[in-house]
A and B are shown apart, each in its own frame.
Chain A
Amino acid sequence: MSDKIKNIDGITKESTEALIEETLAAYPEKGRKKRAPHLGANDQGSGSACVKSNKKTVPGVMSARGCAYAGAKGVVWGPIGDMVHVSHGPVGCGWYSWGTRRNLVSGINGVTQFAMQFTSDFQEKDIVYGGDKKLKTLLEEAKGLFPLAKGISVLSECPVGLIGDDINSVAKQSSKELELPIIPCNCEGFRGVSQSLGHHISNDTIRDYIIETREFAEPSSPYDIALIGDYNIGGDVWAAKSLLEEIGLNVKATWTGDGELEKIAATHQVKLNLIHCYRSMNYMCKVMEEKYGIPWLEFNFFGPTKIRQSLRAIAERFDDTIKENVERVIAKYDPIMQAIIDEYKPRLDGKKVMLLVGGLRPRHTIGAYEDLGMECVGSGYEFAHTDDYDRTASEMPNATVVYDDPSEYEFEKFAHALKPDLIGSGIKEKYVFQKMGIPFRQMHSWDYSGPYHAYQGFEIFARDVDMAVNSPTWKLVKAPF
């Protein structure tokens, strides 16, 4: 990668380091010491992380992070549509995470898909006497009211772990009695430092309770693959799946966007795992590689440049039929993508974008912005690990600022200094920057739009970025008087 160093006018290692130092000056000494290693200037040629990560959030700084429960319910388990997901504990966690991630599902609500809010709604007495009995009863009730549910997950909230309930034994017993997979997931929000541990715990429960409990009914083919780490935000899975099918692959299971429990359970029979969100699902890819010898490949379906590279990398794993298909598909979409770029690039060329998202998109979407002529002047993650930052170095222009779990204070400071034309981050950040008159797109939820994945998604992405950056409403922010 060292031959492709990209620099940005006005941004040097020194200027970025000065900006970081100036920003940290506001902190009390202890806070400054803790935060300093999490901010750095990118060394594009190094291919390695310039910040520390996956450490405890500093108290009181206004972090954007969520918790392990959020990672389990919102990210890994929640998107599996044909299961009942019980938020076990008080009413809030389930209510806040109900329908707020946009992981779309197929099926009929309450009949074959259960994108609803199931909770044991803990009361004082459940804290005092424990909630195991209540859990047992509610599992029976769920089975009775939703007979077509393929399974139930029990997602623990903070109190469950603190009072010492044994959801694992309840799940085991009920699973036998109800003849239904019931998966206990000890994902209490106080565990770990972010959503990330929730992903890991959930992957572990898939490993323990799900994988290899089903087999596909139809015979296998050399083109059987699974789509891993795509959560179908705004329909991403549907866009990605149809492209993979267009190059001749059989997408046997999707993890976990629009996911089906039984297909996930039979994924040990596929020939290749294609992983989009490395952060949240690398664990199971590694398990399937070790246990079943299934290779896995990271890919990137944001923007035509990365899609093209990814399709060719995928083709390398298959025979000439797929390779030919890929070239044919690329040739088909290249002019369509070029037309999109020709339409939007003149209005976006040279515009600057700053990103702060979860564990993948701060690096994966950079190429799509670059396809539109934009440059990324700062990027960071809520809950990434060192291996994510290693993968980020080469994607970001040299010497740009990298921030791990930044506080709102830091993010604001960086934005003031770098004056981006667009910020891509989350709902908590959106209105802060819009008040400043800075265009913004939510990059967790695609701001209620999408899909953004694959060729189909790029057209929507390009339109959305253009309408955010170039909306005439921004010109009205400053009053003439």
Chain B
Amino acid sequence: MANLLGLEVKKIVETPPEEIERVKNWINSEEYKEQNFARQALVINPAHACQPLGAQLAAHGFEGTLPFVHGSQGCASYYRSTLNRHFREPAPAVSDAMTEDGAVFGGQNNLHEGLENAVALYKPKMIAVFTSCMPEVIGDDLTAFIKNARTKGHVPKDMPVPFANTPSFNGTHIHGYDSMLLSILQNLTEGKQVEGRCTGKLNLIAGCDFNTGDYREYKRILKEFGVPVTVLADIADSFDSPCNGTYNIYAGGTPLEDAADSINGKATMTLGPYATPKTFSWIKDNYAGKHVSLPMPMGIEKTDAMIMKIAELFGKEVPETLKNERGRAVDAMTDAQQYMHGKKFAVYGDPDYLVGYVSFLLEMGAHPYHIVCSRGSKKLEKELQGLLDGSMYGKGCKIYMNKDLWHLRSLVMTDPVDAMIGDSHGKFAARDANIPLFRFGFPVFDRVNMHRYPRIGYQGVIYMVSQICNKFLDIKDETCEDRFFELMR
């Protein structure tokens, strides 16, 4: 008897304990770091997902909208379960379940049958179609497929069916978000521009932001201002819906009418510039009113910029309530600064979050020491470098573009830091380095209710400062010698 390939049969050999010990130490070494950073092909523990995930997030941000994956069904299950785990909320989406025959004949039949079933069962007001790998590789023509679907009556004539090409072999989830949002806005606003009409509203785009607390915070700030707002792709209620005995498949989202009328807005502001370049560029060419792109408002300075811009755009004074709120946030920072000053952080995540973390840390006198972006642009690198160069706390801090969390592990093991900021996936490196991980990013699979708290705005500052400083104080209490264990900190 022999194995099928005629391979040599060997006795099982256990790895000797001293060899395990050697490798265990070696993976923490400078030598290992060099070899690790020399990788050309292998990606280990990347901090980003693929385009369709972001597309699905954008789709959930609109009223009565059913996200529809054109591709293999497994893709839809992956996106849905990722969103379920992060928000601990439903994430209803369908797929048209393409299989081998789709690869041969194209996915039109699947798409048509899928649209018909989805309309009948889930009664959406809009279906937002986006693609996974398979139709992108075989070159399905969605424009024609969807036109045919209407002609053949698979979808009602008046139902919007925007679609986006979101190949997973290009970009990350933030690019899929951009493409889907653009397509939805193009579709809904078509023919809706009215000469001389102004809604008087601010159109606000949060970007590919997975914190429902941020969306609520934007709306609250604008309420303080008395500025009417249409949040485009508003996921606040979609992913933070009440538990009251009734399941509402479309629990939230921007009303479609408001989204359509957004083209006649007084101003449009994106606060996720790296997640919305295509959308924003199209808006600049097509939307009435002013167009503003600002960094995600994390930290005081970036929040100030947003507040002042809103005041300017709408000719309003900054309300007293917000002035006081700012003062309270600064109070929280000055009270707590001694616990963060000089601390070194490793940060990783999506570009808009990264700019926010770095800006916030520098304001606190902390060092964003290792900055890892697992897929980013030269523009981002330049912006981050600019932030570092503009602060004495940025000295010695370094940016690592297109590196993954296994690179990050080498960094924190060879050149230690006090803490990490990112998403749950960093917990392995954080544990090895014996440092705390602050889960301000996406996804958070291992803590509850994090997405309900804002990271943006003055409230976000108070939240982040409190989380970080109190954790450092916990560590002190848990680890200090008995004689240094005292009441006050």
* Chain A residues near B (Cβ < 8 Å): 26-28, 30-31, 56-70, 86, 89-93, 95-100, 108-112, 116-124, 126-127, 134-135, 137-138, 141-142, 144-145, 147-148, 157-159, 162-163, 189-193, 195, 207-217, 262-263, 265-266, 268, 291-292, 407-409, 412, 426-428, 430-437, 477-479
16 interchain pairs, CB-CB under 8 A: A30-B116, A61-B121, A64-B77, A67-B75, A92-B132, A145-B35, A158-B132, A189-B134, A190-B98, A217-B13, A262-B13, A291-B1, A428-B77, A433-B247, A437-B245, A479-B244
User: Which residues of the partner chain B approach A208 to less than 8 Å between Cβ atoms?
Assistant: 4-5
**B3 touches A (CB below 8 Å):** yes
Q: Establish whether residues A59 and B247, one from each chain, have CB atoms under 8 Å apart when the complex forms.
A: no
User: Which residues of the partner chain A approach B48 to less than 8 Å between Cβ atoms?
Assistant: 91, 95
Shortest B54–chain A CB gap in Å is 11
Instruction: Give the top 6 A-B pairs by smallest Cβ distance, nearest first.
Output: A67-B74, A92-B50, A60-B114, A59-B114, A60-B117, A96-B78
Q: Establish whether residues B10 and A214, one from each chain, have CB atoms under 8 Å apart when the complex forms.
A: yes
Q: What's the A-B contact tally at a CB cutoff of 8 Å?
A: 299
- A175 vs B185: C-alpha distance in the bound complex, in angstroms? 51
With A91-B43, A109-B428, A158-B137 as known contacts, state yes or no: A189 contacts B75, CB within 8 Å.
yes
Q: Establish whether residues B46 and A95, one from each chain, have CB atoms under 8 Å apart when the complex forms.
A: yes
Partner of B115, one of A60, A134, A412, A435: A60
User: Which residues of the partner chain A approach B20 to less than 8 Å between Cβ atoms?
Assistant: 108, 111-112, 148
- A116 vs B428: C-alpha distance in the bound complex, in angstroms? 9
Q: Establish whether residues B168 and A90, one from each chain, have CB atoms under 8 Å apart when the complex forms.
A: yes
Interface stretch, picked from B81-89, B203-211, B291-299, B309-317, is: B81-89
| Most chain A C-beta atoms within 10 Å of own C-beta, residue among B97, B122, B425 | B97
Q: Establish whether residues A436 and B74, one from each chain, have CB atoms under 8 Å apart when the complex forms.
A: no
Q: Establish whether residues A435 and B19, one from each chain, have CB atoms under 8 Å apart when the complex forms.
A: no
Question: Scoring B residues 71 to 109 as 1 if CB is less than 8 Å from chain A, else 0, what string do you get?
Answer: 111110111111011001111111111111011000000
From 1 to 46 in chain B, residues with beta carbon under 8 angstroms from any chain A beta carbon are 1-5, 7-13, 15, 19-20, 23-24, 27, 32, 35-36, 39-46
Shortest A119–chain B CB gap in Å is 5
- A100 vs B98: C-alpha distance in the bound complex, in angstroms? 24
Q: Establish whether residues A91 and B49, one from each chain, have CB atoms under 8 Å apart when the complex forms.
A: yes
Closest chain A residue, CB of each to CB of B91: A428
Partner of B23, one of A64, A67, A99, A111: A111
Q: Establish whether residues B122 and A214, one from each chain, have CB atoms under 8 Å apart when the complex forms.
A: no
Q: Establish whether residues B92 and A408, one from each chain, have CB atoms under 8 Å apart when the complex forms.
A: yes
Shortest A445–chain B CB gap in Å is 10
- A28 vs B114: C-alpha distance in the bound complex, in angstroms? 11
Closest chain B residue, CB of each to CB of A478: B245
Partner of B11, one of A27, A135, A189, A214: A214
User: Which residues of the partner chain A approach B49 to less than 8 Å between Cβ atoms?
Assistant: 91-92, 95-96
With A91-B50, A92-B52 as known contacts, state yes or no: A111 contacts B12, CB within 8 Å.
no
With A66-B73, A111-B24, A477-B245 as known contacts, state yes or no: A93 contacts B137, CB within 8 Å.
no
**B474 touches A (CB below 8 Å):** no
* Chain B residues near A (Cβ < 8 Å): 1-5, 7-13, 15, 19-20, 23-24, 27, 32, 35-36, 39-46, 48-50, 52-53, 68, 71-75, 77-82, 84-85, 88-100, 102-103, 110-111, 113-118, 120-122, 132-134, 137-138, 167-170, 172, 241-248, 406, 409, 425, 428, 432, 445
Partner of B117, one of A58, A192, A262, A263: A58
Q: Establish whether residues B117 and A431, one from each chain, have CB atoms under 8 Å apart when the complex forms.
A: no
Shortest B402–chain A CB gap in Å is 10
Shortest B419–chain A CB gap in Å is 20
With A127-B137, A159-B137 as known contacts, state yes or no: A27 contacts B117, CB within 8 Å.
yes
Q: Establish whether residues B42 and A91, one from each chain, have CB atoms under 8 Å apart when the complex forms.
A: no
User: Which residues of the partner chain A approach B44 to less than 8 Å between Cβ atoms?
Assistant: 116-119, 145
User: Which residues of the partner chain B approach A157 to less than 8 Å between Cβ atoms?
Assistant: 133
Q: Establish whether residues B1 and A27, one from each chain, have CB atoms under 8 Å apart when the complex forms.
A: no
Q: Establish whether residues A90 and B133, one from each chain, have CB atoms under 8 Å apart when the complex forms.
A: yes
Q: Establish whether residues B117 and A211, one from each chain, have CB atoms under 8 Å apart when the complex forms.
A: no
Q: Establish whether residues A66 and B77, one from each chain, have CB atoms under 8 Å apart when the complex forms.
A: yes
Q: Establish whether residues A28 and B97, one from each chain, have CB atoms under 8 Å apart when the complex forms.
A: no
| Most chain A C-beta atoms within 10 Å of own C-beta, residue among B43, B45, B89 | B43
- A97 vs B23: C-alpha distance in the bound complex, in angstroms? 27
User: Which residues of the partner chain A approach B133 to less than 8 Å between Cβ atoms?
Assistant: 89-90, 157-159, 162
User: Which residues of the partner chain B approach A427 to less than 8 Å between Cβ atoms?
Assistant: 81, 84-85
- A478 vs B120: C-alpha distance in the bound complex, in angstroms? 30
Q: Establish whether residues A266 and B12, one from each chain, have CB atoms under 8 Å apart when the complex forms.
A: yes
Partner of A67, one of B73, B80, B92, B245: B73
Q: Establish whether residues B42 and A66, one from each chain, have CB atoms under 8 Å apart when the complex forms.
A: no
User: Which residues of the partner chain A approach B425 to less than 8 Å between Cβ atoms?
Assistant: 98-99
Q: Establish whether residues B103 and A162, one from each chain, have CB atoms under 8 Å apart when the complex forms.
A: yes
Partner of B110, one of A59, A122, A135: A59
User: Which residues of the partner chain A approach B406 to less than 8 Å between Cβ atoms?
Assistant: 110, 116
With A158-B133, A212-B3, A477-B245 as known contacts, state yes or no: A190 contacts B9, CB within 8 Å.
no
Q: Establish whether residues B19 and A148, one from each chain, have CB atoms under 8 Å apart when the complex forms.
A: yes
Closest chain A residue, CB of each to CB of B40: A137
User: Which residues of the partner chain A approach B5 to less than 8 Å between Cβ atoms?
Assistant: 208-209
User: Which residues of the partner chain A approach B45 to less than 8 Å between Cβ atoms?
Assistant: 98, 116-117
Shortest B222–chain A CB gap in Å is 28
Partner of A62, one of B7, B15, B122, B243: B122
- A89 vs B133: C-alpha distance in the bound complex, in angstroms? 10
Closest chain B residue, CB of each to CB of A122: B169
Partner of A435, one of B24, B75, B93, B247: B247
Q: Establish whether residues B77 and A62, one from each chain, have CB atoms under 8 Å apart when the complex forms.
A: no
Partner of B12, one of A95, A159, A217: A217
- A408 vs B91: C-alpha distance in the bound complex, in angstroms? 11
Partner of B94, one of A61, A120, A127, A266: A61
- 12 other contacts beyond A407-B121, A435-B243, with CB at 8 A cut-off? A28-B117, A64-B77, A91-B48, A91-B168, A92-B78, A108-B20, A148-B19, A190-B103, A212-B2, A217-B11, A412-B247, A435-B248
- A70 vs B48: C-alpha distance in the bound complex, in angstroms? 19
Shortest B70–chain A CB gap in Å is 10
With A57-B97, A158-B137 as known contacts, state yes or no: A434 contacts B243, CB within 8 Å.
yes
User: Which residues of the partner chain B approach A124 to less than 8 Å between Cβ atoms?
Assistant: 167, 169-170
Shortest B88–chain A CB gap in Å is 6
Q: Establish whether residues B246 and A436, one from each chain, have CB atoms under 8 Å apart when the complex forms.
A: yes
Q: Establish whether residues B81 and A100, one from each chain, have CB atoms under 8 Å apart when the complex forms.
A: yes
User: Which residues of the partner chain B approach A97 to less than 8 Å between Cβ atoms?
Assistant: 78
Shortest B412–chain A CB gap in Å is 13
- A431 vs B92: C-alpha distance in the bound complex, in angstroms? 10
With A58-B113, A111-B20, A112-B20 as known contacts, state yes or no: A212 contacts B245, CB within 8 Å.
no
Q: Establish whether residues B245 and A144, one from each chain, have CB atoms under 8 Å apart when the complex forms.
A: no
Shortest B53–chain A CB gap in Å is 7
Partner of A61, one of B3, B117, B172: B117
User: Which residues of the partner chain A approach B24 to less than 8 Å between Cβ atoms?
Assistant: 108, 111
Partner of B245, one of A145, A432, A436: A436
Q: Establish whether residues A142 and B169, one from each chain, have CB atoms under 8 Å apart when the complex forms.
A: no
With A30-B113, A190-B103 as known contacts, state yes or no: A112 contacts B15, CB within 8 Å.
yes
- A192 vs B102: C-alpha distance in the bound complex, in angstroms? 12
User: Which residues of the partner chain A approach B246 to less than 8 Å between Cβ atoms?
Assistant: 435-436
- A62 vs B35: C-alpha distance in the bound complex, in angstroms? 45
User: Which residues of the partner chain A approach B3 to less than 8 Å between Cβ atoms?
Assistant: 210-213
Shortest B466–chain A CB gap in Å is 26
Q: Establish whether residues B89 and A431, one from each chain, have CB atoms under 8 Å apart when the complex forms.
A: yes
User: Which residues of the partner chain B approach A68 to less than 8 Å between Cβ atoms?
Assistant: 74
Q: Establish whether residues A60 and B118, one from each chain, have CB atoms under 8 Å apart when the complex forms.
A: yes
| Most chain A C-beta atoms within 10 Å of own C-beta, residue among B5, B8, B78 | B78
